[in-house]
Structure 1
C-alpha cells in the first residue's frame, strides 16, 4: 500500500512517530535515574532530560561523534558503562550510568588510596562524605535531620562506639549551625590521616604523554588494555605495552573522572576508572518526572 493512499490520521501518526524517533536519537533522550548516588542533585526514580548534542552528537550505532566537544567540570552526564561484564558488547548497547564530571582531559586530581577526590569541597556542595558521632547522640541528630528537611538520610554504619551517616557539604554546614556546641560530628576519615595516601593522577588527554608511577600504573594499564585496545600488563609496579617497558604513554582518546555525590555509591570512576569521550551520551539538563512535584522542570546542577 502506498503512503499517499493511507488515511490522513494514519499519515499523521507515522510522521509523529518518525519525528519522535529522530528527536530521541539525534537531539535528546530520557533517562531514569537508576540509583541514589546523585542525591541531592537528582533522586532515584526521577526521569531526566539529556541533551545528546552537549558533547557533539554520537553517531547512532557508533562511537564516532559529530562536532565533538569536551565535558566540563561539574557537568552531570549520561554515559555507557566503561567496564561491562561482557567487554565485547558494543558501547551503545551497554547499560547507562549517570554521574558528575570532576576531572576533564589533562586535569590533575589528588586522589587517596580509595580513589576519592580529596579536594571535594571545590567540586560541588552536594558531594557527600561520611561522618561519625556517638550513639547517645542519635536521637538529637535524627530530630534535627527531620526538622531541617534533610531527605533520604539513613545510617551507613553503627557499632558500640560510633554511628555513621553521610552528609553533603551543605548539609554538614547547616547541621553544624544548629547542633549543640558539645555535639561531636566529625569526618570519618580525617585529613591528617589521609595526607600520606594522597597522590596526583593526570586525566589522560588525546595526544598528551602521561608518566607512569606506582600509584597510577594499574589505572593506566586497564585504560590502555580495555579502551586503547593495546596489549598491556603490570610487573613489579612497571608498565609494559606491546611487550615493551613504558615510563609513559601517549593516549589516543580523551578521558574523564566521574563520581557520585554519595561516597557509599561506587558506580563511578572509583569502580571502573577513566571514562572515554566515546562513552559519553549527553548532559543531564532538566527533571521531567519526579514524585516531588516541586522538582518538575528543575534544571539539573
Structure 2
C-alpha cells in the first residue's frame, strides 16, 4: 500500500515591527497604564497656593489616594488621557461634553473624617454658580463635575455636624476641635525698630508679612508705632517673642458681629466673618429641613445645583420645583465643610459653601517632592526635609 505524503503548508513569517511601531506601542501601553493607575489608585498633585500653609507649602508635590474614599467613574468620557480641563501648555479644552454619564463611586476602605486633608472638585464651577463667586475666585469657569478644578483643604465638619467658628477656634457639635499642628493665623508683631526681614521672617519660614499700617487701628493699639502683620504658626509666634526688639505679639481676629463681604451665604440675615462664623448645619443624606428664609439662603444652591434635582428655581425668597413651592426638603447625599490651614488666607467653605460627596476625589497621603518657588539660592531649591513627609 502506497502512502502519499501531504505537503506541509509553508509557515508564514510575521513581519518585524519597525522601530517606530514598537515605540508607538510602548507609548500607548504607558498611557493606558498611567490612565488606569491615575483613575483607580492614586494621582499626583502640586500645591499652587498658600491656603494650606504651613501644613502644605507652595511647590509641594503630593500623592493623593483614590482608594481611601473609593474612586468615581468618569462623568465625561470624551477627554484626552492624562489631562484635566486643558491640553498641556494651551488654553484648548481637553474634553467634549457631548456625553455625560451618571457617576458611581467604587467601594473604598474609609469615609471622609474630620481632620482629613482632602482633594475635591471645586463645586462652584457649576454652570449655575461660577458667575456668583467670581469676586472670591476671579478665574472661575464652568466645567463638568469630574473636570472641575482640584482643590485641597482640610475637612473640619462632616455630614450632620453643627459647625461654628468663635474667635478663630473651630467648634463642632459644641466641642472645640484640635487645631492642625502647623495651622497658620494672622499676628501683629510690635517692634522697637525695623527688622531685617530676611534674617527674622524668611529664616523662620514666614513668607507672608507686611509692615503695620493704619488699616489695623481697630484691632491694634494706637501707641504701636512700628510693627508687622505676619501669617505664621503659634509655635513660631512664640519663638519670635524671644527677640529683644519684639515688644509683643498678638493674634488678629475680626470682631464678632462684624459682617465680612463675600462670605457664604450671600445674605443680610447673618453677620458673620472668617473668625466668627455660624452656627451652621452640614447637610446629611436623609436629613429633612423646613424651607425657612434662613435655610433657603444656606441650602438653596445645594437643592438647585448639587443634589440631583431637575427644574428647581429660587424665586422671590422661595424654592420651586416644577413650579411647585417646596415647604421642606430631604437631602439626597452627604456634604462636607472644608477649611484651609492658613486660616486667614484661604478661599474655602466659608466663602463658597459645602462640598458634595460626589465631588470628593481622594485623600492626600504624603509629599514626594517639594520645590521652593522662591529659594535663597539654587542649592536650597529642593526642600529635602519635606520629601516623603506624611500629611497630618
TM-score scaled by length of structure 1:
0.80
Q: Who is 2:334 aligned against?
A: 254
Assess, with a 3 A threshold, how the Cα gap between structure 1 residues 76 and 15 changes in structure 2: closer, same or farther: same
Structure 2 residue matching 1:223: 3-state secondary structure: helix
Cα deviation digits, residues 231-288 of structure 1 (max 9, x gap): 25375xx653434253x53211100001111134333112220000000110011111
Q: Who is 1:122 aligned against?
A: 178
Structure 1 residue matching 2:123: 3-state secondary structure: coil
Q: Who is 1:186 aligned against?
A: 250
* 1:172 maps onto 2:237 in alignment: yes
Q: Who is 2:314 aligned against?
A: 233
Cα distance in 2 for partners of 1:166, 1:94 equals 29
What's the RMSD between the two structures over aligned residues? Answer: 3.6
Q: Who is 2:143 aligned against?
A: 89
Cα deviation digits, residues 58-96 of structure 1 (max 9, x gap): 112353201255311111111111001744631111111
Q: Who is 2:91 aligned against?
A: none
CA apart distance, 1:27: 0.6
Q: May I ask how many residue pairs the two structures share in their alignment?
A: 292
Cα deviation digits, residues 154-201 of structure 1 (max 9, x gap): 22863385542222344334445x366983322222677789965321
Cα distance in 2 for partners of 1:45, 1:188 equals 27
8 Å contact kept, 1:106–1:204: yes
Q: Who is 2:105 aligned against?
A: 65
CA apart distance, 1:202: 1.1
8 Å contact kept, 2:189–2:229: yes
* 1:280 maps onto 2:360 in alignment: yes
Q: Which residue of 155, 169, 172 corresponds with 2:210?
A: 155
Quick check: which one's helix share is greater?
A: 1
Assess, with a 3 A threshold, how the Cα gap between structure 1 residues 296 and 143 changes in structure 2: closer, same or farther: closer
Structure 1 residue matching 2:125: 3-state secondary structure: coil
User: Which one scores higher on RCO, CA 8 angstroms, separation ≥ 6?
Assistant: 1
8 Å contact kept, 1:82–1:279: yes
Structure 1 residue matching 2:363: 3-state secondary structure: strand
Q: Who is 1:299 aligned against?
A: 390
Structure 1 residue matching 2:362: 3-state secondary structure: strand
Q: Who is 2:195 aligned against?
A: 139
Q: Who is 1:223 aligned against?
A: 302
Assess, with a 3 A threshold, how the Cα gap between structure 1 residues 191 and 137 changes in structure 2: closer, same or farther: farther
* 1:199 maps onto 2:290 in alignment: no
CA apart distance, 1:123: 3.4
Assess, with a 3 A threshold, how the Cα gap between structure 1 residues 6 and 283 changes in structure 2: closer, same or farther: farther
Gaps of at least 5 residues in structure 2 are 1-13, 76-101, 129-141, 221-227, 259-270, 372-382
Moved more, 97-106 or 52-61: 52-61
* 1:266 maps onto 2:321 in alignment: no
